[in-house]
Amino acid sequence: MEQDRRRHPRTEVHGAAELVLEDSSKVSGEVIEISHGGFRLRHEYRGFKEDQRVSFVHAFDKGKARVVWSRQVGPHMESGFCIMDRP
């Protein structure tokens, strides 16, 4: 059995989110899980790269984050983000 490497407990949520990429383009999605250190986003954008930096705002938090992982899940994409900074 693989060991869970998560540092913070996760909470399932549902809320709209908007991310702004370094080139000022925007990605909308739905936050589906949060923790103190990050969040998981369901979206349609296929261009996220590992370690890419974004600004984000959603119903539960806002700040700057980096992409940890991104993968296709059914017809959607999901990405995990690590929060780097909060205002």
- 30 neighbors 40 (Cβ within 8 angstroms): no
CA distances from 64 to 48, 49, 86 (A): 15, 15, 7
**Residue pLDDT, tens place only, 7-43:** 778 899 999 999 999 999 999 999 999 999 999 999 9
Split at pLDDT 50, 70, 90, the class of 2 is very low
Average pLDDT value over all residues in the chain: 92
